[in-house]
Amino acid sequence: MHPILNIAVKAARRAASVINRASLQLDLVTVQSKAPNDFVTEVDRAAEAAIIEVLRDTYPDHAILAEESGRSGESEYCWIIDPLDGTTNFIHGFPQYAISIALAKNGSVEHGVVFDPVRNELFTASRGAGAFLNDRRIRVSRCTRLADSLIGTGFPFRSDDDLEAYIGAFRELTQKTSGLRRPGAAALDLAWVACGRIDGFWEAGLQIWDMAAGALLIQEAGGLVTDFDGDSGHLDSGRVVAAPPKLFAQLLPIVQKHMRAR
């Protein structure tokens, strides 16, 4: 494992300790609303602080872009952090959430970690070195037919999102796949595409910290990741489609038909 990735893993595990302790006493967790249906807890903030402390100890000159505390520092290296992706799941005791940490160099994501503290599953990737789950090499699924596929997505939760467009895509894909799933933590959804648990994924309205590590995992596991136009701007647009190559060619046109012009 690359030394930088080792530090990211250390930071993720430090955050997981914070999250796991809090999960035992959810009734004591203070919840605040950042926007309608968009929540933050003191656990998010404490986990983020734990991550940043570990990263700053080793790389004090690196910039940081974190969900709760924003951007700090100027450097060609930038850590992209989501300390608790799936906060709504967490505060309900629904065991589907994760920590996502990525490092970009001059805008290109080079290392990524997604850690599931519930299952103790560690997903890691470095550009050009493959993707791994708990030190085991992973690949995207071998599914080649949309009709046989299990596809993940995330429904809109903000008032300005276009629910009707999603319903159209959801309706068509329900008819053309073996099933759709909406677990509620995009970073973990992307990691599950990378290891083949779900065959593809699409969502809009995401932030860079939701996708940076997970997208690298998929690319290093042999999959394709783009925005809804089929270009590489997903980290900027927040609109992502991901799948193994043959399945991607069948999934993208359907998503485009319903979502591209929105």
Q: Name which of 131, 124, 238, 258 is nearest 186 in CA terms.
A: 238
How far apart CA 181 and CA 1 sit, in angstroms, is 32
How far apart CA 105 and CA 113 sit, in angstroms, is 15
State the pLDDT at residue 35. 59
Find out whether 210 is annotated in a ligand binding site. yes
State the pLDDT at residue 251. 97
Find out whether 67 is annotated in a ligand binding site. yes
| Percent of the residues in the chain that have a pLDDT greater than 90, as a whole number | 82
For 85-122, the pLDDT digits (tens) are 999 999 999 999 999 999 999 999 999 999 999 999 99
Q: Name which of 257, 216, 201, 262 is nearest 237 in CA terms.
A: 262
How far apart CA 11 and CA 251 sit, in angstroms, is 35
Determine contact, residues 138/125, Cβ cutoff 8 Å.
no
Find out whether 85 is annotated in a ligand binding site. yes
Q: Name which of 153, 158, 219, 157 is nearest 189 in CA terms.
A: 153
State the pLDDT at residue 158. 59
Q: Name which of 109, 99, 7 is nearest 47 in CA terms.
A: 99
Residue-wise over 130-151: b if at least 16 C-beta within 10 A, else e? Answer: ebbbeeeebebbebeebeebbb
How far apart CA 123 and CA 188 sit, in angstroms, is 9
Q: In terms of DSSP H, where are the helices of 59-177? A: 87-91, 163-176
Geometric angle at alpha carbon 162, from 159 and 165, rounded to 5°? 155
Find out whether 161 is annotated in a ligand binding site. no
Fold entry, domain 3-137: Fructose-1,6-Bisphosphatase; Chain A, domain 1 (3.30.540)
Q: In terms of DSSP H, where are the helices of the chain? A: 3-23, 42-58, 87-91, 163-176, 186-194, 208-220, 234-237, 245-259
How far apart CA 206 and CA 228 sit, in angstroms, is 13
Would you kindly state where each structural domain of the chain is located, as residue ranges? 3-137, 146-259
Q: Name which of 183, 191, 29, 200 is nearest 95 in CA terms.
A: 183
- The half-sphere exposure of 67 on its side-chain side, counting CA atoms within 13 A, is 30
State the pLDDT at residue 29. 84
Find out whether 44 is annotated in a ligand binding site. no
* Global pTM value: 0.94
May I ask the CATH architecture of the domain 146-259? Answer: 3-Layer(aba) Sandwich (3.40)
For 63-87, the pLDDT digits (tens) are 999 998 999 989 999 999 999 999 9
Mean pLDDT by 10 residues, the chain (262 residues): 94 97 87 66 92 97 94 95 95 96 97 98 98 97 97 76 83 96 96 98 95 98 96 92 98 91 49
State the pLDDT at residue 160. 56
